[in-house]
């Protein structure tokens, strides 16, 4: 009915957020031409049209019945009621009889004779499992609407406890013809209002899926060390920070192995090691890692990584070269020798997939290397001062003296 103004029950959507309202409008726009900003369902004390008041009462009764069957029979019946409203609106695109408000329609005498009912057992004239109506060549079934309603509540509105058993509810549609009759009797704007109120009943009563969040968010301390920590210092030997970083990485990446490493002041051959860091499982050498904080190219590959190449070619040990950068030709040479190559860029990508706790395992491993393998407390304090700025509650900061703190 054009120009009708229908009372809105303001309590129905009091807790609906702006984002939720936009999503409701987007969903209903597939069925109704107007959105919530265009359909005006309000009237003041001067608007006393009997027809307006009558339609408002029908909407309220329809929503109340929906709320009652939700409480008494289950959540899915809210979807059934909404599917009635939406299906009738779809049918109204072909049947102009449904555009205006028609109170007190009866299913058996007014509605059923007007449409061809599909899906009926011809022997008993009983509905088989759903309601499908046809007007001329236009066919509408509640099953497709209730499927869309389920997706809307589940996916769009994050109400994951909305039932996903449409056949159970559509099969019982005849038990609720009073809601269907009300949907047929409403005008187009009235059905738009009823649909929105039914949705708001669902949003109010269905549990919203909460997504885990933490404030403040967990930091990524080891990724910060990789990309932001200064690797050179006057009181540290060249390559110390990088070797400590690679040791920390190995601690977190291969926690099942026993790692052997020595101070950067001591060559691996003197310690009967193959790489800077060797990983054992019992007596077996499983992995050997060389750490090189430099660009590896064809001119220095043999000098810097010759031992890793030989180890890879002559043994079953996994040989790994962790380097700042490896140029393409050098990478190809290493890969042909079956040396696994990990660059800073590779580490950056991998560490983004590590949660805080795994990153912290790597960070603690780096601290352990500086403090107990390199035995350089100055280097340890320098690292911890950096950590203080990115992860102020890190447990390792307990070893930072008050005078060392920023």
In tens, the pLDDT along 160-211 reads 888 876 677 888 898 999 999 999 999 999 999 999 999 999 999 888 776 6
φ/ψ of residue 234, rounded to 5 = -60, -30
* 88 within domain boundaries: yes
The pLDDT, as a whole number, for residue 376 is: 95
Whether residue 318 sits in one domain with residue 194: no
Name the token pair of 188: 């187009």
Stated as kind and residue range, the H or E segment containing 278 is: strand 277-281
Tell me the CATH number at 376: 3.40.1350
Q: In what order do the strands lie in the sheet with 258-261?
A: 258-261, 277-281, 284-296, 318-326, 339-343
Whether residue 193 sits in one domain with residue 227: no
Who contacts 71 (Cβ-Cβ below 8 Å, separation ≥6)?
none
Are 308 and 288 in contact by the 8 Å Cβ rule? The answer is: yes
Query: What letter would DSSP give residue 317?
Result: S
Who contacts 15 (Cβ-Cβ below 8 Å, separation ≥6)?
203, 204
What is the rounded CA–CA span in Å between residue 2 and residue 195?
A: 18
In the chain, the largest separation of any two C-alpha atoms, in whole Å, equals 101
**pLDDT tens digits, one per residue of 279-321:** 999 999 999 999 999 999 999 999 999 999 999 999 999 999 9
The least confident of 204-208, 347-351, 374-378 is 204-208
* 301 within domain boundaries: yes
**pLDDT tens digits, one per residue of 223-254:** 999 999 999 999 899 999 999 999 999 999 99
For every residue of 185-228, DSSP letters joined together read HS-HHHHHHHHHHHHHHHHHHSPPPPPP--SSPPP-HHHHHHHH
* 139 within domain boundaries: yes
Whether residue 393 sits in one domain with residue 338: yes
Chain-centre distance for alpha carbon 334:
39
Whether residue 259 sits in one domain with residue 180: no
Nearest to 170 by CA among 120, 130, 203: 130
Could you identify the residue written with the tokens 């299913």?
107
Can you give the residue range of the structural domain that contains 113?
10-205
Query: Is it the case that residue 45 has pLDDT exceeding 50?
Result: no
**CA–CA distance from 318 to each of 261, 274, 289, 324, 336 (Å)?**
16, 11, 8, 20, 14
* End position of a domain, from candidates 136, 171, 205: 205
What is the rounded CA–CA span in Å between residue 286 and residue 279?
A: 6
Confidence band of 405 (pLDDT split at 50, 70, 90): low
* End position of a domain, from candidates 148, 175, 205: 205
Total domain count, the chain: 2
* 210 within domain boundaries: no
Nearest to 38 by CA among 183, 193, 156: 193
Are 291 and 326 in contact by the 8 Å Cβ rule? The answer is: no
Whether residue 254 sits in one domain with residue 198: no
* End position of a domain, from candidates 158, 173, 205: 205
Whether residue 294 sits in one domain with residue 154: no
Whether residue 271 sits in one domain with residue 185: no
* 216 within domain boundaries: no
Could you identify the residue written with the tokens 């009652």?
68
Query: What letter would DSSP give residue 13?
Result: G
Kindly tell me the sign of the dihedral angle through the C-alpha atoms of 112, 113, 115, 120.
Answer: positive
Name the 3-class secondary structure at 349. helix
* 211 within domain boundaries: no
The pLDDT, as a whole number, for residue 9 is: 45
* 214 within domain boundaries: no
Are 198 and 59 in contact by the 8 Å Cβ rule? The answer is: no
What is the rounded CA–CA span in Å between residue 1 and residue 34?
A: 14
Whether residue 342 sits in one domain with residue 301: yes
Whether residue 135 sits in one domain with residue 226: no
Dump strand ranges (E) for 329-401: 339-343
Whether residue 80 sits in one domain with residue 193: yes
Q: Angle at CA 334, nearest 5°, toward 328 and 340?
A: 105
Name the token pair of 170: 């559509």
* 51 within domain boundaries: yes
Q: Cβ-count burial of 179 within 10 angstroms (0-12 exposed, 13-18 middle, 19+ buried)?
A: buried
Whether residue 324 sits in one domain with residue 249: yes
Confidence band of 216 (pLDDT split at 50, 70, 90): confident
Whether residue 200 sits in one domain with residue 98: yes
Could you identify the residue written with the tokens 């597939």?
30
Query: What letter would DSSP give residue 9?
Result: -
Return the axis-axis angle of helices 377-390 and 221-228, rounded to nearest 10°.
Answer: 110
């Amino acid at each position: 009915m054009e120009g009708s103004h229908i009372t809105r029950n303001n309590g129905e959507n009091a807790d609906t957020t702006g984002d939720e309202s936009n999503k409701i409008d987007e969903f209903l726009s597939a069925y109704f031409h107007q959105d919530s900003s265009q359909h005006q369902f309000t009237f003041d004390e001067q608007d006393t049209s009997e027809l307006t008041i009558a339609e408002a009462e029908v909407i309220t009764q329809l929503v109340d019945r929906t709320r009652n069957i939700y409480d008494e029979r289950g959540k899915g019946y809210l979807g059934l009621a909404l599917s009635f409203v939406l299906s009738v609106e779809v049918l109204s695109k072909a049947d102009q009889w449904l555009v205006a408000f028609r109170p007190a329609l009866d299913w058996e005498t007014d509605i059923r004779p007007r449409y061809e009912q599909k899906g009926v057992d011809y022997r008993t004239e009983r509905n088989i499992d759903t309601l499908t109506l046809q007007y001329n060549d236009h066919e509408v079934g509640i099953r497709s609407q209730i499927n869309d309603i389920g997706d809307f509540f589940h996916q769009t509105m994050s109400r994951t406890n909305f039932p996903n058993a449409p056949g159970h509810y559509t099969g019982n549609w005849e038990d609720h013809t009073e809601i269907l009759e009300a949907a047929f009797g409403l005008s187009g704007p009235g059905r738009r209002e009823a649909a929105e109120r039914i949705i708001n009943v669902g949003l109010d009563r269905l549990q919203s899926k909460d997504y885990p969040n933490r404030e403040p968010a967990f930091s990524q301390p080891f990724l910060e060390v990789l990309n932001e920590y200064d690797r050179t210092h006057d009181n540290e030997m060249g390559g110390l920070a990088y070797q400590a970083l690679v040791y920390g990485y190995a601690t977190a990446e291969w926690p099942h192995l026993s790692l052997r490493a020595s101070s950067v002041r001591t060559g691996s051959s003197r310690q009967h090691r193959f790489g800077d860091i060797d990983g054992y499982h019992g007596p077996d050498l499983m992995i050997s890692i060389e750490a090189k904080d430099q660009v590896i190219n064809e001119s220095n590959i043999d000098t810097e990584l010759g031992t890793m190449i030989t180890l890879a070619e002559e043994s079953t040990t996994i040989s790994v070269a962790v380097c700042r950068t490896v140029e393409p030709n050098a990478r190809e040479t290493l890969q042909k020798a079956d040396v696994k190559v990990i660059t800073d860029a590779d580490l950056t990508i991998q560490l983004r997939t590590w949660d805080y706790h795994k990153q912290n395992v790597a960070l603690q491993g780096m601290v352990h290397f500086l403090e107990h393998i390199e035995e350089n407390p100055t280097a340890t304090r320098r690292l911890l001062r950096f950590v203080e700025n990115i992860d102020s509650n890190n447990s390792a900061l307990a070893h930072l003296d008050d005078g060392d703190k920023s």
